[in-house]
């Protein structure tokens, strides 16, 4: 067993021993007390009836002649021994016929029950337990006939058979308690094993995941806390596996993105060194452009990494987002004109101000416009709009960039802001897309406390939105 098994077993054993032991002890004491109370009530009634019968006998016969037979009949099946003396202490009756004719002092009999008839002392009654001997004490303190003798010592006499019955009852209680304890212990061990088993499964799966088996999962057999723990473990494992797959794809994408410009640079330089290409402006420009691509890629990766880790430094100031949008629209209009694309702007007055980093907000808008220009065909249209909008009950400004390009398939839409994700890989690379622009938009917007989302109809175009909270005035 594991150490946790020992702890559970020890706690369970201690609990069972304490509960069963205390319960059995309490039951034993209660049974003994109730049994003794029952015996006392019976003995009290017996003493009262014997006393009354002897009083009647004495009143009828004016003495104790031939009373011994009556005394034996009165004892009946009751345990112990009855001894009767007259008022002077002379024993006149003995159910064992041993002490008749002797004085009570000779056998140390004392505190007998006084039998009084019309104020005259007629004698004393002694009830001696079955364990008593000739020197045993008598019982009862001078009680008048018919007097309540519940406190009389004679009432506490327990016969040998009664004591045996009480002992048997006590043994039965302890035996029942022991059997109940064993049953509880067995059931507890069964329940403990059901707790330990899923924990062991979790431990084995955790070691396998630590060893690189990220596909490892545990079976969920219940809906209790252990089941919730197993589900949480499976979610964690799924997240680790997904992140590992994303990491591997990211490394592959980064390697590919770096390899493409490096291959062009290396090939051009080799051609110049081998005399295949001349070291003219055309080939040097190619090297410069690919170097710029590498620089941009490394810068974008650095920005994303800083944003994701929360270490991106933002120069937050209160600003008018409309000025940024107008500036970016003016710069994009040159490229749009070259591609015969109409760029329309809808910037209303009285817009709320936002608090943000002007450089990063310019970067967000520029990336969205660049993305729209790449995916809008010649003769198409791009719309740039702003408006005040409540988002999740918070006031802010929504910026929308809409194009009427090829649109995004529904299966690709949830991943459009992932790093290096491209709907059309070959086309994006041929047009200069690195697959990081939209990922940067998402990270930068969220770093400002905002949100981004995309809407698209395949074949009709797409709309990219980002929302920023309004400044507190």
Q: What is the pLDDT of residue 356?
A: 92
DSSP string, 308-337: HTT------EEE-HHHHHHHHHHHHHHHHH
pLDDT (tens digit, 9 = 90+) per residue, 152-193? 455 566 667 777 888 888 888 888 888 888 887 788 778 777
Is pLDDT larger for residue 191 or for residue 374? Answer: 374
- State the helix-helix crossing angle for 225-273 and 160-210, rounded to 10 degrees: 10
Asked whether 466 and 394 are in contact (CB, 8 A), the reply is no
User: Which residue segments constitute the domains of the chain, with CATH numbers given?
Assistant: 3-163 (3.30.450), 225-308 (1.10.287.130), 317-469 (3.30.565.10)
Instruction: State the DSSP string of 15-71.
Output: HHHHHHHHHHHHHHHHHHHHHHHHHHHHHHHHHHHHHHHHHHHHHHHSS-TTHHHHH
Higher pLDDT, 452 or 135: 452
Residue 83 · residue 115 · CB < 8 Å:
no
* 134 CA to centre of own chain: 72
E strand or H helix at 447: helix 437-447
Mean pLDDT calculated for residue range 53-60: 90
pLDDT category of residue 43 using cuts at 50, 70 and 90: confident
Which residue would you say has higher pLDDT here, 5 or 337? 337
Beta strands in 79-195 (DSSP E): 81-86, 91-94, 113-117, 120-128
Of the candidates 80, 75, 40, the residue with the CA atom closest to the CA atom of residue 54: 75
**Tokens standing for 324?**
């940024």
Q: Which residue has the higher pLDDT, 137 or 322?
A: 322
Q: Binning pLDDT at 50, 70 and 90, where does residue 212 land?
A: confident
pLDDT of residue 429 exceeding 50, the answer is no
C-alpha pair distances (Å), 47 with each of 26, 39, 155: 31, 12, 8
Q: Which of 5-14, 332-341, 346-355 has the lowest mean pLDDT?
A: 5-14
The confidence score (pLDDT) of residue 365 equals 93
Q: Which one has a higher pLDDT value, 412 or 425?
A: 412
Q: Does residue 417 contact residue 442 with C-beta atoms inside 8 Å?
A: yes
Nearest-angstrom CA–CA distance, 289 and 280: 14
> What does the pLDDT look like over 248-306, one tens digit per residue?
776 776 776 777 788 888 888 888 888 888 888 888 888 888 888 788 778 878 887 87
Q: Using 50, 70 and 90 to split pLDDT, how confident is the model at 433?
A: low
Q: Which of 38-42, 129-133, 295-299 has the lowest mean pLDDT?
A: 129-133
Distant-in-sequence, close-in-space partners of 447: CB < 8 Å, separation ≥ 6: 307, 312, 314, 360
Dihedral Cα 157, 163, 169, 171, nearest 10 deg: 130
Average pLDDT over residues 121-134: 71
Residue 138 DSSP class: P
What is the predicted pLDDT for the residue at 456? 93
Which pLDDT score, from 0 to 100, does residue 156 have? 62
pLDDT for the residue numbered 2: 57
């Amino acid at each position: 067993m594991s150490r946790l098994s020992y702890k559970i077993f020890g706690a369970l054993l201690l609990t069972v021993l304490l509960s069963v032991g205390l319960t059995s002890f309490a039951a034993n004491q209660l049974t003994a007390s109730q049994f003794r109370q029952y015996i006392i009530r019976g003995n009290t009634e017996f003493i009262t009836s014997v006393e009354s019968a002897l009083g009647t006998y004495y009143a009828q016969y004016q003495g104790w002649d031939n009373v011994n037979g009556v005394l034996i009949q009165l004892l009946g099946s009751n345990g112990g021994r009855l001894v009767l003396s007259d008022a002077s202490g002379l024993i006149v009756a003995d159910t064992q016929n041993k002490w008749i004719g002797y004085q009570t002092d000779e056998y140390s009999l004392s505190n007998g029950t006084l039998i009084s008839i019309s104020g005259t002392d007629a004698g004393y009654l002694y009830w001696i337990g079955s364990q008593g001997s000739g020197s045993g004490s008598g019982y009862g303190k001078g009680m008048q006939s018919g007097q309540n003798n519940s406190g009389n010592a004679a009432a506490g006499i327990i016969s040998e058979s009664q004591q045996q019955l009480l002992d048997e009852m006590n043994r039965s209680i302890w035996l029942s308690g022991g059997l109940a304890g064993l049953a509880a212990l067995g059931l507890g061990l069964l329940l403990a094993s059901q707790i330990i088993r899923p924990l062991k499964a979790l431990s084995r799966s955790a070691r396998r995941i630590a060893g690189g088996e990220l596909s490892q999962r545990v079976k969920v057999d219940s809906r209790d806390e252990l089941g919730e723990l197993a589900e949480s473990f499976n979610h964690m494992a799924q997240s680790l596996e997904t992140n590992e797959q994303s990491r591997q794809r990211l490394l592959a994408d980064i390697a590919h993105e770096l390899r493409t410009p490096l291959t062009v640079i290396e090939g051009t330089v080799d051609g110049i060194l081998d005399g295949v290409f001349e070291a003219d402006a055309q080939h040097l420009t190619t090297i410069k452009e690919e170097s710029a691509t590498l620089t941009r890629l490394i810068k974008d990766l650095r920005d994303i990494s800083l944003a994701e880790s929360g270490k991106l430094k933002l120069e937050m100031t209160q600003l008018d987002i409309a000025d940024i949008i107008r500036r970016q629209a003016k710069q994009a209009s040159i490229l749009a004109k070259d591609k015969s694309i109409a760029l329309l702007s809808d910037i209303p007055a009285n817009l709320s101000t936002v608090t943000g980093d002007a450089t990063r907000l310019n970067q967000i808008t520029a990336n969205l416009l660049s993305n729209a220009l790449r995916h809008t065909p010649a003769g198409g249209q791009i719309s740039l709009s702003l408006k005040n909008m409540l988002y999740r009950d918070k006031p802010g400004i929504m910026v929308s960039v809409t194009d009427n390009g090829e649109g995004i398939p529904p299966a690709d839409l949830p991943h459009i802001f992932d790093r290096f994700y491209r709907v059309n890989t070959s086309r994006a690379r041929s047009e200069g897309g690195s697959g990081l622009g939209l990922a940067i938009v998402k990270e930068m917007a969220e770093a400002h406390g905002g949100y981004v989302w995309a809407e698209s109809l395949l074949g009709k175009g797409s709309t990219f939105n980002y929302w920023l909270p309004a400044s507190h005035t």
